[in-house]
Structure 1
Amino acid sequence: MKTTARIKRLLLTARAVSAAMAAALALTLPACDKSSEPRFGNEGGEEATSTIARLKSLCTGECTPVTADITVGGVVTANNLYGEFHKTLVIQDESGGICIAVDGAELYVDYPVGAAVTVYCNGLTLCDYGGKVQLGTTPADAYGAGRIPRAELGRYLRVSGDGENPLRPAALTFGEIGPRHIDTYVYFNGVHFAETGNWCDTDPETGRPVTTERLLADGTGRTLPVRTSGTCTYATEPVPQGTGSIYGVIDYFNGKYTLRVTNREIDFATGAGLPTAYP
């Protein structure tokens, strides 16, 4: 009888241990699964490990693959809402800005201007195109960084804020533009277009707008080209007349600075109304 009772006690103890182990395993497995999944943005409380300026300094040739776990954080300052930045996002932090090449349309839906984003750079490539560093994939041609496939963009770029970050463009004069301003959000006051015409010229063969530069002038007679993509929704509209302010991102290629208007931000004494959002 004593032996039978002892066996029963042992069986009950074994069952209790098994139940405890099963409960512990049930609690542990989800944690293991979660830790093995990639995390983006602020979900895991991860902060940027580099500034944009530091990231750009790692580009030591025409193309430099990023092989370390580097993350940068910034705010979207330009996208393709009005077709101004075709298949391109521009982000900026306090140290500078950088453009990201993406093979996708309607980027403004997921990455609106003002959205805080985290970029996971490992696996991407830094490319020096005409003296300006871009971020994307290994180039397939001689026209800068390759575009990140839209389906893979979530691996590298994730919105990490509420999309309501105040954008504070730097007030510049034409004479102040320098390397640190490349791909940064700026504005100019008291300027006017030194020529008339549409934002973009038209290809005589196809009738389609083509990327065009129009000279912007200040009160001293200095000028700065405004470069407008042929994909822009207001490409066939006339440039505004009068004097006022214009906002955009500084571009650079082979020693030449240009301004690219972002989000159709133009405040002139007279001017055309805002176009319909793209597309």
Structure 2
Amino acid sequence: MKSPYHQLTGTTLLLAPMVLLVIFCNKKWDEPSGFTGPQISVTMTIKELRELHAPGGFEQITSEQVIAGIVVADDSKDNFYKSVVIQDSTAGITIKMDGYSLYNTFPEGSKLFIRLRGLWLGEYGKMLQLGGSVNRKNPTSPELGGIPQALFSRYLVRGQLQQTVTPKTVRIDELSDAWQSQLIRLEQVEFAASDTGRPYADVLNKQPVNHVLKACGGGSIYVRTSPYAKFAALHTPRGNGSITGIYTVYKTEKQLLIRDTGDVQMNELRCTGNGTRTLLSENFGSQVADTVVQLPGWKQITEAGDKKFIAKKTGGKTYAELSAFATGQPQVTTWLISPPLNFSSSSNEQLQFKTRDGYDNGATLQVLASTNYDGGNSPWKAKWTVLSAQVAKGSVTNIAAGWVSSGNISLRSYRGQVYIAFRYEGADPPQTALKRTTLFQLSDITVVGN
């Protein structure tokens, strides 16, 4: 009697391991077109699950219930230990799991279905978690245990990948236990001055660290980092901005756990008064009206022609002014260069200035930055970068009534010794069509940083 199975030929036996090799060498598993995930009915929201818990107690789920959520934090950067955090549209919860490298199976952005029957709810420092057991070896201090790795397949089913959860923007003073285990975003925040420029955690002594994060509008929260986090040795920023992370608590302390330093975007100036330093300030108030601008540490150099910035004063405001008009020179190029600015011990530097224009016919005023200018009389030989700034233009028949602010020009990418230059380029040849004699006025130059 013939076997109901096909006989394996020698060729088939040879090809089989090759096919397996091809399959397993392809580590990226693509979801089939139209894949919608496992067909599992969700019977409970995470908010409803959380409502089963009584503070200080442990509750075992005994009914056939299923929750589902998107993984918003995993252990890929080691700031979350033996746990993943999931969130649905109603709430979030941390899942304790007795395993390592969980991100390989349950990565951030994957949908996770959890069969709840047999699992437990419990707290650690008033932080509600879902686990697999309760350890009562110490009757006075029972602990929630993780779901054993051998039982993952019983309780956990992964669904679709690459799902997105948008962090919810909240204020620190709005945070309550209802926000536990949710991905949140705090804006206009900064680390306390004593906690800036410090490692996120104590790698040497293997100690976690809480850094104080303050909001400009009031309130504070701890940013807690594990010494085993891959970014633990990196330093906290000095600036102001936003931070994204998982909201947690420990007893009465509000805490935020970031997933990686990409969650921290603090490149703006600090809002605290003692956090901002003025690195350069010039309003030309020391200059005598109708004389060539001469400032200590500044250089004024003519590259073409001989016209220089002149100090002017109108209505109590002093400024520098330059126009190629009536020079009769085919090319007028003039540089006004700041003293060297030391950016070695500052951060988040920003430049601001104001301009007015008059009789605009095409001359230009640019602002530039350089780190290799030698301070000499040939600035055009150095490498300069033109900065993106708002400069007055378009006043054709007279001088503009109002001043135009340059906006906040970020200089944070520059380090070491930095020069700022204002370069005027115009012309006053005999041919009317070639004249570029726009008048520019410049004042209120400031560079600030943290």
Asked if TM exceeds 0.5, the reply is: yes
What are the superposed Cα offsets for residues 169-193 of structure 1, whole Å, 9 maximum, x if unpaired? Answer: 1001111111211110001112111
Whole-Å Cα distance in 2 between the matches of residues 103 and 160 of structure 1?
20
Quick check: which one's helix share is greater? Answer: 1
Between the aligned residues of both structures, percent identity stands at 27
Give the distance between the partners of 2:235 and 2:37, measured in 1 at CA: 43
How many matched pairs? 225
Q: Which amino acid aligns with 1:157?
A: L
Q: Does 1:262 align with 2:259?
A: yes
Q: Once the 2 structures are TM-superposed, how far is the Cα of residue 57 of structure 1 from its aligned partner?
A: 1.4
CA offsets, 1:13-71, max 9 Å, x none? xxxxxxxxxxxxxxxxxxxxxxxxxxxx953x222100111111112352111111110
Aligned equivalent of 2:73: 78
Task: Tell me if 1:67 matches 2:62.
Answer: yes
C-alpha change, 1:249 and 1:231, in structure 2 (3 Å) is: same
Q: Provide, for residues 210-251 of structure 1, a one-character-per-residue CA deviation record: whole Å limited to 9, x for no partner.
A: 111000112134321111122211112211221121110100
Cα distance in 1 for residues equivalent to 2:63 and 2:132: 15
Matched, 1:234 2:260: no
Question: Is contact 1:114-1:166 (8 Å) kept?
Answer: yes
CA pair 49-243 structure 1, distance change in 2 beyond 3 A: same
* Matched ranges for 1:1-279 at <5 A: 42-43=37-38, 45-60=39-54, 62-140=57-135, 142=141, 144-161=143-160, 163-194=161-192, 195-196=195-196, 197-202=198-203, 207-264=204-261, 265-269=263-267
1:105 deviates by 1.1
Query: 1:53 is aligned with what amino acid?
Result: K
Contact kept, 8 Å, 1:115 with 1:159, in 2: the verdict is yes
The unaligned stretches of length 5 or more in structure 1 are 1-40, 272-279
- Whether the aligned pair in 2 keeps the contact of 1:86 and 1:231 (CA below 8 Å) is no
| Counterpart contact for 2:127–2:180, Cα < 8 Å | yes
Task: Write the distance in 2 (CA, Å) between the matches of 1:214 and 1:174.
Answer: 15
Equivalent residues of 2:122, 2:130 under 8 A apart: yes
How far apart are the structure 1 equivalents of 2:145 and 2:224? 22
Contact 2:120–2:131 (CA<8 Å) still a contact in 1? yes
- The aligned amino acid for 1:164 is Q
Gaps of at least 5 residues in structure 2 are 1-35, 268-346, 349-450
Mapped contact 1:199–1:228 kept (Cα < 8 A) = yes
Q: Give the secondary structure class of the aligned counterpart of 1:114.
A: coil
- d(CA) in 2 for partners of 1:118, 1:213: 33
Whole-angstrom distance in 2 between the partners of 1:66 and 1:216? 37
Large movers: runs of 4+ above 3 Å? 141-144
TM-score between the two structures when normalised by the length of structure 1: 0.75
Amino acid at match of 2:66: T
Task: Please say which of residues 261-270 and 79-88 is displaced more in the overlay.
Answer: 261-270
Where does residue 274 of structure 1 map in the other structure? none
- Shift in alpha-carbon separation, 1:230–1:136, aligned structure 2, 3 A: same
Distance in 2, matches of 1:263 and 1:237, equals 10
Secondary structure of 1:180's aligned partner:
helix
Distance across 2 between alignment mates of 1:113 and 1:42: 16
Please say if residues 47 and 91 of structure 2, whose CA atoms lie closer than 8 Å, have aligned partners that are also in contact.
yes
Q: CA deviation at 1:143?
A: 6.9
The offset of 1:118, in angstroms, is 0.4
The answer to whether the Cα contact below 8 Å between 2:133 and 2:147 also exists between their aligned partners in 1 is no
Q: Distance in 2 between matches of 1:221 and 1:64?
A: 37
* Structure 1 equivalent of residue 314 of structure 2: none
In our comparison, the structure showing a higher alpha carbon Rg is 2
TM-superposition CA deviations, 1:131-169 (whole Å, max 9, x none): 2321112222647420111222121111111x1111211
- Does structure 1 retain, via aligned residues, the 8 Å contact 2:231–2:260? no
**Per the alignment, do residues 143 and 99 of structure 1 end up closer, same or farther by CA in structure 2, a change over 3 Å counting?**
farther
TM value normalised by structure 2: 0.48
